[in-house]
Homo-oligomer: A and B are copies of this chain.
Amino acid sequence: MIVAIGTIGLDTTYTPTTKVTEVLGGSAAYFSLASSFFHPTGIVGVIGTDFPEKYWKLLDSKVDLRGVQVYNGKSFRYVSRFGFDINTRTTIKTELNVLERFQPILTDEYLSAEYLYLGNIDPDHQLMVLEQAVNPKLIVSDTINFWIDAKREQFMNVIAKSHVLLINNEEMRLLSGVNNLVKCSQIALDWGVNCIVIKKGEHGALLSSNTCMFPSPAYPVAEVVDPTGAGDAFAGGFLGHIARTQAVTEQTLKEAVVYGHVMGSFIVEDFSVNRLLSLSNAEIEERFQEYLAITSLTG
C-alpha cells in the first residue's frame, strides 16, 4: 500500500481566462487520485467540518480515507493565480485553518505501508508520520517554498530520513542556494537521499542517483487549462508505478519518471482533479507509449 500525507483542501485558482472557486485540491488529493490508478493508496490528512460532501465521496470512491481526520473548523484553502505564462504561479493566500492543529495518526492499517509519500504539508507533520511508520520500503518527500521559508530545518530532517527527494526546480534552488540543477542534484545526494527528481513543469524533469542521470522532457500539452497539482500528480504516477512493480531499480525509476510526466500531462488538461475522473488505465498506458515514441530518436 502507498500512504500519502499531504493537504486536502479547497483551491481557488485564477488563470488568464477563468476563475474557479473552492474546488477540490491539496497535495494528498492530487497525489492519491493519480497514484490510485497504479496501486492502492491511503491518505493521512485532515479536513474541516465544512468540507463538501461531494468531494469526500469523490475521494472515497478511489482512495482509502481511513487516515483522514475531521476537525471542527475550516478546511485548508489555497488561492493562486497563473499568468500569461501559465507555468508561472503566484500564491495569493495560503489558509492553513484545521492544518494548524493537525496531529497526523497512522492508523493500524497504515503502520506497515511499504511506500510513503510525504507530500507538501508542514514538515513537522511529515516527521510525525515518519516516527510512526514501521519499516517503509521507500520514502518519497516533497515540499513547497512556503515551508522552506517557514521550517527549513524541519524539512532538512525529513530529507535526511527520505530515500527520494521529489521537488520542483524553484524549490530546490531555494533549498540549496544553488542555481545549476546538476549541482543541485549532487547536493541532494550528498544530503543522503538515494535519488532526487527535480520537476521542471512544462520543461520536464531531471532524475539523478549515484549511478545514473536521466534528463527527460515533459509530454507536450497544447491546452494547459490549470497547472495546479501537476507536481503532485507527477509524484502519484512516479510512486504509483514503483509500488505496482515492487521494484526500485534504475529502470523502474526512469519508467516512473515517465509515468510522472504522463499523469502531470493529464492533470493540467482540466481544472482541479477533473481530468482524472474520466481517465482510464488504457489512456495512461497509451500516453506512456506515445511518450516513448515521440522522445525516441528512432521513433
A residues apposed to B, CB below 8 Å: 84-86, 173, 179-183, 186, 200, 202-204, 206, 212-224, 251, 254-255, 258, 292, 294-295, 297-298
Contact = CB atoms under 8 A, between A and B. Distances in A.
Given A258-B297, A298-B251, A215 B218 contact: yes
B294 A213 contact: yes
A294 B222 contact: no
A284 B196 CA distance: 28
Contact of A203 (B173, B179, B204, B221): B204
Given A86-B180, A181-B220, A251-B298, 20 more contacts: A85-B179, A180-B222, A180-B223, A180-B224, A182-B221, A203-B204, A204-B217, A206-B217, A213-B220, A213-B294, A214-B294, A214-B295, A215-B219, A215-B220, A216-B217, A216-B295, A217-B217, A254-B297, A255-B297, A258-B297
Given A254-B297, A258-B297, A179 B216 contact: no
A183 B222 contact: yes
Q: How many copies does the complex hold?
A: 2
17 contacts: A85-B173, A85-B179, A180-B221, A182-B220, A182-B221, A182-B222, A186-B222, A203-B203, A204-B215, A213-B220, A213-B294, A215-B220, A216-B217, A251-B298, A254-B297, A255-B297, A292-B297
Contacts of A202: 181
A211 to B, nearest CB: 12
Nearest to A254: B297
Contacts of A219: 215
Contacts of A221: 180, 182
Nearest to A297: B254
A183 to B, nearest CB: 6
A216 B223 CA distance: 19
